[in-house]
Amino acid sequence: MSTKQEIAFTSTSRAINRYAYVIAHKQLRDYNYVEKNIKKARSSQENFMALATGQVPKKVIPAPESNFFVGNIFDLQRDPMNFYLYLHKTYGDIVRFRVFANIYVYLIFHPDDIDYTLRRNHQNYHRGVAHRRLRSLLGDGLLTSEGKAWLHERRLMQPAFHRQRIASFASLMTTLTETMLERWQTLQEPTILDIPAEMMNLALQIVGQALFSTNTSQKVITVGKALTTALEHINHKFYHFTWPDFIPVVSNRRYKQALHTLDSVVQTIIQERRLSKEDHEDLLSILLNARDETTGEGMSDQQLRDEVMTLILAGHETTASTLAWAWYLLSQHPKIESKLHAELASVLGGRTPTLDDLPQLPYSRMIIDEVLRLYPPSWGMSRRTHTDDEIRGYHIPANSEIAIVQYVTHRHPDFWERPEEFDPERFAPAHSAQRPHFAYFPFGGGPRLCIGNNFALMEAQLALATIAQRYRFLPLTERVVKPEPLVTLRMQGGLRMLALKRR
Ligand code: HEM
């Protein structure tokens, strides 16, 4: 018997056997069994039919047991991170889980397949459900737009993130960090800080000033608060069944109010700037002056509003989360912390770091890289297939929801030894060179790579070096801080730390 005949024979007998059992269980009213096995029988039958017509049979994507009506949604709600880690460990590099009835999410964990979806065949992978949820907040900004509109916006905005332009923000970053340290000096001792809130405030001030230059700090704080309220609403909706937005329950009204505040503050800043005609040498000026190469048209007020909101949102939570996790991890690893202090002392000797110092501070950069591996702020990315596709020999139907989860791939045991351990040495150049590109992708990849990646890395490294020379932090309890997967990876229960002056 040839291999094809063998598969055909096995498929047919499997289908016949399963159908026989299904009929028996139907008579016993064991519908659970019927539901589970009818699918398998059909797939065996499909394989047989495929072979009979000369096609290659479809492989069935591994999936966990699930309920037909609620799928695996409760496993997902309970603890998404551990659910995804469990699925990878149990079922391998491609898994699907049921959301409801025949609606599935396909999880892709292997670097080669991530390379395929984000880069080699990116045209077939559009923005997924997470981006659609963000649309009510960010409109058609760079993060959420698609196709030609996205390409047009990316071309207009790319010059704002050119290396040279970003370099001019280095002194802004250290000045604002030092302003924060001066405020800490005035606090009562022992100084206890809400670390995520401090880092969030710092990152918000930095992105706010980079966008709007001076005199907007109060407006930036208002925007930050309204954004947090709006994001909490979107986060909640992501994992829970909630009322549709048009029903005026308290949470929906609060969300609408936050959107209204955001719109009015951002529109006021844009209007003031359009009238002033001054060149402020900030990101907003670049956006205001950007012109389409062919039509010569600039951005409309609505487009500017969407881009500004996108940059504030994408540009502060992420870097703030990186810094907060860095302080936590350093407090748990005194040897790594001492090595960082030694590098800072020998290169900077107590002075404020500049952009030119950064290449001389490789260990601080390795720390940031390792923090981004263990706790990637953008911990997962969602996509939707445009047409039918095939990954790892499995058929993926058109319009399927795909999830690519950095949090899991950054712990893939084939590419990371002792994956849960905090070890910045993994990012020494010799080690990094041996890994496939998409084993580590905190900033995504392909054409939709994060536009602010250099801005973020520069900010994180400068803030780390400036703060670590003046303070070290100790947690107030021995509690192990767990990640909370919201739009970014926050800390469950927050993190209050004791700030100890180093000089
Ligand atoms: C540690 C900090 C950051 C991390 C980990 C991060 C991560 C990411 C990731 C993973 C994506 C791709 C999302 C996807 O394709 O689904 C992305 C896109 C984006 N990021 Fe960042 N980001 C960071 C900082 C920033 C900063 C500082 C800015 C701006 C000031 C920014 C602006 C954007 C924008 C506008 C996009 C959309 C790009 C496009 O689709 O063309 N990000 N970011």
3-class SS letters over 310-328: HHHHHHHHHHHHHHHHHHH
In ligand 1, the atom with minimum distance to the C-alpha of 459 is 27
Tokens of 492: 């469950």
**Phi and psi angles of residue 96, each rounded to the nearest 5 degrees, phi first:** -130, 150
pLDDT one-digit tens code per residue, 431-447? 998 899 999 999 999 99
Residue 142: CB within 6 Å of ligand 1?
yes
Q: Residue whose CA is closest, atom 8 of ligand 1?
A: 443
pLDDT of the residue at 321: 97
Distance (angstroms) between ligand 1 centre and the Cα of 451 equals 6
Which amino acids are annotated as binding site for heme, given as ranges? Answer: 450
For the chain, the average pLDDT equals 88
CA-based nearest residue to 216, from 310, 322, 142, 308: 308
- CA pair distance 315, 155, nearest whole angstrom: 19
CATH number of 144-376+447-501: 1.10.630.10
Residue 154: CB within 6 Å of ligand 1?
yes
In ligand 1, the atom with minimum distance to the C-alpha of 460 is 1
pLDDT over 70 (residue 234): yes
DSSP-derived secondary structure letter, 124: G
pLDDT of the residue at 237: 77
pLDDT of the residue at 54: 61
In ligand 1, the atom with minimum distance to the C-alpha of 316 is 27
Instruction: State whether ipTM is beyond 0.90.
Output: yes
Outline where 277-300 has alpha helix (H): 283-289
**Phi and psi angles of residue 437, each rounded to the nearest 5 degrees, phi first:** -55, -45
User: For residue 57, how many other CB atoms are within 10 A of its CB?
Assistant: 18
Distance (angstroms) between ligand 1 centre and the Cα of 377 equals 10
In ligand 1, the atom with minimum distance to the C-alpha of 381 is 16
Residue 157: CB within 6 Å of ligand 1?
no
Distance (angstroms) between ligand 1 centre and the Cα of 315 equals 7
Residue 207: CB within 6 Å of ligand 1?
yes
- One DSSP character per residue, 29-67 reads T-HHHHHHHHHHHHHHHHHHHHHHTTPPPPBPPP----B
Residue 318: CB within 6 Å of ligand 1?
yes
The most confident of 25-29, 70-74, 238-242, 328-332, by mean pLDDT: 328-332
- CA pair distance 4, 7, nearest whole angstrom: 5
pLDDT over 70 (residue 310): yes
Residue 381: CB within 6 Å of ligand 1?
yes
The pTM of the full predicted model, rounded to 2 decimals, is 0.88
Distance (angstroms) between ligand 1 centre and the Cα of 306 equals 15
Distance (angstroms) between ligand 1 centre and the Cα of 91 equals 30
Mean pLDDT check: name the lowest of 137-146, 266-275, 403-412, 427-436: 266-275
Average pLDDT over residues 76-88: 93
Average pLDDT over residues 84-100: 96
Residue 452: CB within 6 Å of ligand 1?
yes
pLDDT of the residue at 38: 58
pLDDT over 80 (residue 503): no
- CA pair distance 237, 21, nearest whole angstrom: 41
Domain boundaries, the chain: 1-58, 144-376+447-501
In ligand 1, the atom with minimum distance to the C-alpha of 143 is 37
pLDDT over 80 (residue 20): no
Which residue has better confidence, 502 or 47?
502
CA-based nearest residue to 167, from 457, 410, 415: 457
Residue 2: pLDDT band by 50, 70, 90 thresholds? low
User: For residue 379, how many other CB atoms are within 10 A of its CB?
Assistant: 22
Q: Residue whose CA is closest, atom 16 of ligand 1?
A: 381
| Beta pairing class for 471-475 and 125-127 | unpaired
pLDDT over 80 (residue 31): no
Question: Could you tell which of 450, 458, 487 is best to mutate to test the pocket of ligand 1, judged by most ligand atoms within 8 Å of the CB?
Answer: 450
Residue 314: CB within 6 Å of ligand 1?
yes
Write down the residue that tokens 């024979």 correspond to.
Answer: 9
Residue 231: CB within 6 Å of ligand 1?
no
Which residue has better confidence, 414 or 101?
414
In ligand 1, the atom with minimum distance to the C-alpha of 127 is 16
pLDDT over 70 (residue 424): yes
Q: Residue whose CA is closest, atom 6 of ligand 1?
A: 443
Residue 487: pLDDT band by 50, 70, 90 thresholds? confident
pLDDT of the residue at 151: 93
pLDDT over 70 (residue 39): no
pLDDT over 60 (residue 9): no
Residue 349: pLDDT band by 50, 70, 90 thresholds? very high
Residue 451: CB within 6 Å of ligand 1?
yes
- CA pair distance 287, 307, nearest whole angstrom: 9
Which amino acids are annotated as binding site, given as ranges? Answer: 450
Query: In the chain, what percentage of residues exceed pLDDT 90?
Result: 61
Distance (angstroms) between ligand 1 centre and the Cα of 217 equals 23
What is the enclosing helix (H) or strand (E) of 117? none
Which residue has better confidence, 312 or 370?
370
In ligand 1, the atom with minimum distance to the C-alpha of 153 is 41
Distance (angstroms) between ligand 1 centre and the Cα of 61 equals 31
Distance (angstroms) between ligand 1 centre and the Cα of 71 equals 31
pLDDT one-digit tens code per residue, 358-399? 999 999 999 999 999 999 999 999 999 999 999 999 999 999
For residue 329, the SS3 value is: helix
Outline where 240-395 has alpha helix (H): 250-276, 283-289, 301-332, 334-347, 362-374
